[in-house]
Chain A
Amino acid sequence: MSAKSMSTESMSAKGSSSVTVNLKVNNKAVTETCAANTTLDELLREQLGLSGTHIGCDTSQCGSCTVHFDGRAVKACTLLVAQCEGAEITTIEGLGTADNLHPMQAAFRECHGLQCGFCTPGMIMAAVDLVHQEETLDEQKIRKGLEGNICRCTGYHNIVRAVATAAKKMRN
């Protein structure tokens, strides 16, 4: 595809096969030009090197590509970069660091909420949004809240425990 760049204004008006988008990724301003059919997960992984966002099913069923779009969980495989103009994106890399884990990351480790780990970044991003959205959480709400995230290893039990544990810490 031709990556001939046009100004943002003329692109928006008439349409273009290449888009230049301004967005924030993990609190950092980013301006990227890419083909108009590029999805957010591709931009994150291939252009920005943020490979913590995983691509599982690529059809928005499994949830391993979950990131935050203006604070809310979305599936990055079903979102065009072009739709992200002005958006604030947070990925698993923006949540905590190896030395200073986010309470949700710490709880997944503590509760053994993972085995192979493939679904984990998406689970954690979905779970953080869930804690932010719900004033109180019980097991039923956690299971319902994670309906869009599939794990084939754990049987979910320890994931639910991890989210409940993290929720308490996040509210303190």
Chain B
Amino acid sequence: MVSIVYAAPTSIQDAVELLADNAMPANVLAGGTDLLIQTRAQAGSAESRLFVDVKKIKGMSSANMTPQGLELGPSISCAEFTARDDIRALYPGLVEAAGLIGSTQIQGRASLGGNLCNSSPAADTIPALIVNSAQCVIVGTQGERRVTVEDFVTGVGSNCMHQGELLKLIFVPTPVARTSDAYLRFIPRSEMDIAVVGAGVSVTLDASGSCQAARVSIGAVAPRALLVPEAAAALIGTSLDAAALTAAASAASAAAKPISDKRGTAEYRQHVVGVLVKRATLIAADRVKP
């Protein structure tokens, strides 16, 4: 592994100052389950890297439910997150996405913020965060800014954060009444794999079961997870009947811009993403409390 300079600041301000210092390339370290593997792969590099461990900063690893929404410390582990019944009650799809990452041992360390900042096209939590209208609170030496999750990731492994910036909080607004979500992914193995296709859906239904609002996001079928308003539009105003689901699936397939690789061909992914959008819509609708 390359040489590491390790720092464990106890305040956001100290962390930002360390990250802003140009002395050497710097990484934020939370659970480290992606970062350490990536760093080890650079074994030949002579350059040292600064690891800023943010887990010693108060609030970075906690999750608070407020009337406005969930304030999520980005370093919270998937295990702590998925164990929270209050979070599962409001965002079951987001919890199921977090529960799919790696194995039990990985979940004890891997964080939601890490999954987001690693910015893989196949990250499971990103479509689930997008359908829940989650926002990133980013802090830097110039102050704070807010970015929606759909705008946070900019490409394969890249995001909108500049050097010296830190993801301080993920804010997930409280869903309006009669709303629920679901996330599905397709993998050829039963466990421990990376999504070939992922799909998150959130729907709001009225008392008669008619869809009042929807958000659809697809993963692993483009350089970054996409919000697909056309798929949502196909669901809104319908009773989520077969025709509406088929229209939403077609919209998702049309929005997908997948590549062919060892995990699946572009054509296959384009088809499967529509199927998953249909299924996730039905699961989310089924979860809406009367």
Contacts and interface: CB of A to CB of B under 8 A. Distances in A.
Interface of A: 1, 11-17, 19, 35-37, 39, 58-61, 63, 66, 69, 72-75, 78-80, 82-83, 85, 126, 129-130, 144-145, 147-149
Q: Which residue among A37, A61, A66, A129 has the maximum number of chain B CB atoms within 10 Å of its CB?
A: A37
A14 to B, nearest CB: 6
Contacts of B7: 11-16
A156 B37 CA distance: 27
Contacts of B263: none
15 contacts: A1-B3, A13-B9, A15-B5, A36-B51, A39-B36, A60-B33, A60-B105, A63-B103, A72-B79, A72-B108, A78-B36, A78-B37, A82-B6, A148-B106, A148-B191
A78 B6 contact: no
B14 interface: yes
B33 A58 contact: no
A19 B3 CA distance: 12
B64 interface: no
Given A69-B108, A74-B105, A78-B37, A37 B32 contact: no
B259 interface: no
Contacts of B167: none
A59 B105 contact: no
Interface string B107-150: 01100000000000000000000000000000000000000000
B192 interface: yes
A73 B105 contact: yes
A74 B6 contact: no
Given A74-B109, A83-B55, A17 B4 contact: yes
A12 B104 contact: no
A59 B279 CA distance: 33
Interface residues of B, number: 37
A78 B4 CA distance: 14
B50 A15 contact: yes
A82 to B, nearest CB: 4
Nearest to A148: B103
Contact of B56 (A11, A12, A17, A78): A12
A13 B9 CA distance: 5
B36 A80 contact: yes
Contact of A74 (B9, B39, B108): B108
B201 interface: no
Given A74-B105, A80-B4, A17 B33 contact: no
A151 B39 CA distance: 26
Contacts of A129: 104
A145 B107 CA distance: 12
Contacts of B14: 13
A83 B5 contact: no
B1 interface: yes
A17 B47 CA distance: 12
A15 B14 CA distance: 11
Nearest to A14: B7
A112 B32 CA distance: 35
Interface string B32-53: 1100110110000000101111
B104 A78 contact: no
B29 interface: yes
Given A78-B33, A83-B29, A148 B104 contact: yes
B36 A82 contact: no
Contact of A145 (B1, B32, B33, B104): B104
B9 A16 contact: no
Contact of A79 (B32, B39, B40, B104): B32
